[in-house]
Amino acid sequence: MGATIVIAGGGAAGAPAARSLRRKLGAEHRIILVEQKETLVNPALLPLYAVGKKKRRHFSRERSRMSLPGIELTAGRVLKIDPGAKKVYTGGEEIDFDLLLIATGAELDRSRPPGAAEAGIDLQSLEGAEKIYAALPYFRGTEIAIVAPSAGIKCPAGPYEYALLLENWFNRRGRSRDISITIYTSESAPLILFGERTSRALAELLLKRRIRLHPGARIRRIDGESKTIFVDRDRFSYDLLLYYAPVTPPPLVGESGLAGKGGWLRPDPRTMALPLESSIFAAGDVTAIDTPRGELLPKLGAIAHLQSLVAAANIARLVKGQKPDRAYCGFAG
Ligand SMILES: Cc1cc2nc3c(=O)[nH]c(=O)nc-3n(C[C@H](O)[C@H](O)[C@H](O)COP(=O)(O)OP(=O)(O)OC[C@H]3O[C@@H](n4cnc5c(N)ncnc54)[C@H](O)[C@@H]3O)c2cc1C
């Protein structure tokens, strides 16, 4: 009899894992992918979309048009995981699994930094990118503030990418000298988690493009009325506020009893299996993995993709009665 493998979440980790499993396993094994969203977006292209360099068709697709031959696509939200009973529950269905891959990504804590959601534009959503695209031609102010309050954001390079693209947008229109872009980040230096060399090169590039940096910033709150950012003991004014909300683990994993420290899933980084649940794997932004330097691996699609292939390979080996042997290479570790 075949095995049933359920994958929760069809994003950068879940969809490639499903395809990889389908290639590795015979048709007697069921692969069920549960995805909640009707329209899926590749967020990596949002910054380019915000400045008109990409169209929506380049990075969004309907769930029904995902190319998943041989995979059962279930439209719905996984509301509950019961590891003991080996079941996941969606609104309308109860699905039994032999093996489960949790790839639901991370959620955003939009209450942080306080006041940002009310005062600014969210750089991590399609709606936010659309707002920027619509607002840029009419922007008559001078101060653009990009607020990235915590290292725990999706794609740590994102704030710098947005800043460089915005500077380029104004430059091409002969307006860059009238505009001041400042990045307020909690990082001690830009992208320091990728090492000194990368950080120095980025700092030089920012300087060359006259993008200001406020590193080590502890953002206390934003006041949208007076257009003020309160950082440590200082305050700075802005005309346009663009913000990153920090990531937070999906409540689903905490409620399932599978979460480790901080509410994240902490799989074995070699196999991507959860330590006490050899039939449950996790990949992508929903996981927290410590690097040898004791930091957390950043939330990146490139990492999610590699982890998902390791998880899929090891799930396939278990189905075939073999021991997991594929190991995550520790990319960006
Ligand atoms: C603005 C921005 C720019 C970025 N740029 C880059 C970049 O240049 N390079 C890079 O490598 N990374 C980039 N990233 C990060 C990258 O997008 C994420 O790391 C990656 O998408 C994580 O993949 P994932 O599959 O873990 O989560 P996601 O891609 O978020 O997918 C999770 C999926 O699970 C679904 N889901 C969630 N909960 C449930 C549930 N309960 N039931 C069913 N389905 C569920 C969601 O709808 C979603 O489709 C960027 C992110 C942002 C926001």
pLDDT tens digits along 237-286: 999 999 999 999 999 999 999 999 899 999 998 899 999 888 999 999 99
> The tokens of 222 are what?
């934003």
- Which three-class secondary structure state does DSSP give residue 74? strand
Q: Is the pLDDT of residue 332 over 50?
A: no
Query: Region 209-228: what's the mean pLDDT?
Result: 96
DSSP H helical segments within 87-242, as ranges?
Answer: 116-119, 126-135, 158-172, 196-208
Cβ(66) – ligand 1 distance below 6 Å:
no
- Tell me how far the alpha carbon of residue 175 lies from the centroid of ligand 1, in angstroms: 34
**Greatest Cα pair distance in the chain:** 69
The DSSP result for 277-307, as a single string, is: EEEEEE-GGGB--B-TTSPBPPB-HHHHHHH
Is there a contact between 79 and 104 (Cβ–Cβ < 8 Å)?
no
Q: Is the pLDDT of residue 185 over 90?
A: yes
pLDDT score recorded for residue 151: 67
pLDDT tens digits along 71-101: 999 999 999 999 999 999 998 899 999 999 9
HSE-CB at 282 with a 13 A cutoff on CA atoms is 25
Cβ(146) – ligand 1 distance below 6 Å:
no
Q: Is the pLDDT of residue 293 over 80?
A: no
Cβ(104) – ligand 1 distance below 6 Å:
yes
Domains, the chain, with CATH or none: 4-42+59-106+249-319 (3.50.50.60), 108-247 (3.50.50.60)
- Tell me how far the alpha carbon of residue 207 lies from the centroid of ligand 1, in angstroms: 31
